Structures are given as structure tokens and as C-alpha cells.
Amino acid sequence: MICTNSLTSNGRSLLIATDAATSSNKKENKMTSKNIIVDWDAITINLTNGTLTKIAHFAAQYGVSRPTAKKMLADHYGTSIVFNRGRTGGIVFNPVATTATA
């Protein structure tokens, strides 16, 4: 998967995610691209107040797969977020990164 970020004229981030999709003929691989406009400010607010905690919610909101959603979040936030696994897991801000910058 290849992800490219760029800014639009209104300041929102445009992420172009390209996935390799296998056609019915296994010898052929086609590249498909999808232009996704993500409002990162709204995502940050939702992460801060706890309304966005699961990768599946983010993926469903933008119509991408869970691995693509996780890569998008990791590419944008870097080490400032952590993906916790398990029943009570989800996306949270990294407490180590927030205390180091404060």
C-alpha cells in the first residue's frame, strides 16, 4: 500500500491510498487508488474526547479497510498515538509522547 498526503486549498489533508487488488486472473495485479479527504482536526477532537476509539469506526467512516485505516492514522500521527489490542483496546494518544512534549 502506498499513501501520499497533500493539503487542499481549505487546509484539509487529502490522503491518496493505493492498494494492490488482485483480479480474478491471479496473474494480473491492478492498482486502484481512492482519494480520501480526512478532516484531521475532527479526528483529533474525537480522539481527545474518546468518541473515536476503534480503528473499525475510522475505517467505516472513510470507507477503507482496517489495515489501510491503521496505516493512515499511523502515517499522520506517528508516535503520538498508540494502538492497543484486545477487548478494551483501541486508539489512544501515547502518554509518553504527550508528557515528553508538555
User: Which residues constitute the domain of residue 25?
Assistant: 2-101
Tell me the mean pLDDT in the region 15-43.
63
Q: Return the amino acid letter for 35.
A: N
Residue holding cell 475532527?
42
Q: Is 86 left (phi over 0), alpha (psi -120 to 50) or beta?
A: left
pTM of the model: 0.61
Question: Where would I find the beta strands (DSSP E) of the chain?
Answer: 2-7, 13-22, 29-38, 81-84, 90-93
Higher pLDDT, 38 or 23: 38
Count of domains for the chain? 1
What distance in Å separates the CA atoms of residue 101 and residue 21, rounded to the nearest whole number?
Answer: 40
How confident is the model over 50-68, as pLDDT tens digits?
Answer: 888 899 999 999 899 999 9
- Residue 86 pLDDT > 80: yes
What distance in Å separates the CA atoms of residue 29 and residue 45, rounded to the nearest whole number?
Answer: 38
- Residue 2 pLDDT > 90: no
